[in-house]
Amino acid sequence: MKITLIGGSGFVGTRLIDLLQYDYQLKNIDKRQSHFFPDITVIGDVRDKDKMTELLKGTELVVLLAAEHRDDVSPVSLYYDVNVGGMRNVLAAMETNGIRRIVFTSSVAVYGLNKKNPDEEHPKDPFNHYGKSKWQAEQVLQEWHEGHPDWNVNILRPTVIFGERNRGNVYNLLRQISSGKFLMVGNGENKKSMAYVGNIVAFIRFLIEQKTSGYNVYNYIDKPDMSMNELVGHVSKVLRKHIPATHFPYWLGMLGGYGFDFLAWVSRKKLTISSVRVKKFCATTQFSAKKVQESGFNAPFTLGEGLARTLEFEFVHPRTDDITFKTE
């Protein structure tokens, strides 16, 4: 089968290509060259419908990974140009080329913050432009499917993804914890849903091979969830070091976040700490994974194993290169 990844030069796409490369004929379309798979990568942008139409010729299935996802994208219209407009362009290009299968990576951000274990049918209440644009992209895809009921649509809503080479919020958190200079905002009992990249790409392969008809939507979370206190304890165990955690009240943490917002505004620089990130850190982010658990999919790694593999790669074994991927 001929599969085209759109946005496959990034973190998830690179791991997915590595998993699929020996069993499928792959092409990667991305606005950036791939570090590891330049031979199958062509340069293209989802905002260019004509280019998408040209590059998707001969494809049988599309995996749409391309997205604007960082907290600090400017201007904010880029979220909608890429995530929503890009979806429309890809669907139009697929129709022109007679392609009837798509796997789309959305996000649990469509549910919003501090929701009680939402499943796939939970009301959507995104709190930021990333979540809003992802939900709008899903709505475009849902409406399209109503007019193309013979198409196979698989939507994956992962929680925050982590893994080797990733430079996002989970990496920053693990680095802070492992440094021994970690400041815990709140009581640490808030639980965090996470997903290891090795399991995410395995589930995408499962969708490609097992969910070949209909319109299917899945949250993806590696269970059971860990609280922040449990995460600190796990890092301590893997790295075999005592890691003290100083607790600060939520109001003080948010005050500091607003201070960093002001510094970022004055300096016109993107800083690693912000009020949005403090808010996300202190939020309980648990999501239901019951549908995945009942689908027949077996994750190749536990959450603890994924964290251990990441910690050992990043903080224990010597690095042989400096290739990393920046996400949230």
Residue 35: its pLDDT value, please? 96
What b/e sequence results for 208-221 when a residue is b if at least 16 CB atoms lie within 10 Å of its CB, and e otherwise?
beebeeeebbbbbb
pTM over 0.85: yes
**CA distances from residue 164 to 14, 129, 323 in whole angstroms, order as listed:** 11, 27, 10
For residues 276 and 109, what is the distance between their CA atoms, to the nearest angstrom? 13
pLDDT for res 55: 98
- Please say if the pLDDT value at position 247 is more than 90: no
The more confident residue out of 288 and 116 is 288
Burial code (b: 16+ CB inside 10 Å, e: under 16) for 31-63 equals eeebeebeebbeebbbeebebbbebbeebebbb
pLDDT digits (tens, 9 = 90+) for 13-62: 999 999 999 999 999 999 999 999 999 999 999 999 999 999 999 999 99
Q: Is the pLDDT of residue 192 over 90?
A: no
- Residue 156: predicted pLDDT: 98
Residue 133, domain CATH: 3.40.50.720
Residue 208 lies in a domain: yes
In a domain, 106, yes or no: yes
Residue in 130, 171, 196, 220 annotated catalytic = 130
Chain position carrying tokens 């990667």: 28
166-170, 173-177, 184-188, 312-316: the lowest-pLDDT one: 184-188
DSSP string computed for 97-109: HT--EEEEE--GG
Tell me the three state secondary structure of residue 55.
helix
Domain range for residue 201? 2-162+193-223
Residue-level pLDDT at 328: 64
% of the chain beyond a pLDDT of 70: 98
Domain count, the chain: 1
In a domain, 291, yes or no: no
For residues 122 and 173, the model is more confident at 122
> Has residue 262 got a pLDDT over 90?
yes
| Residue 6: Cβ-neighbour burial (10 angstroms; 0-12, 13-18, 19+) | buried
Please report whether residue 310 resides in a domain: no
Is 257 within the bounds of a domain?
A: no
pLDDT mean over 69-77? 75
> Would you say residue 177 lies in a domain?
no
pLDDT digits (tens, 9 = 90+) for 194-240: 999 999 999 999 999 999 999 999 999 999 999 989 999 999 999 99
In a domain, 276, yes or no: no
Flag whether 188 is in a domain: no
Q: Which pLDDT belongs to residue 220?
A: 98
Determine the Cα–Cα distance for residues 47 and 81; give it in Å rounded to an integer.
7
111 catalytic per annotation: no
pLDDT for position 25: 98
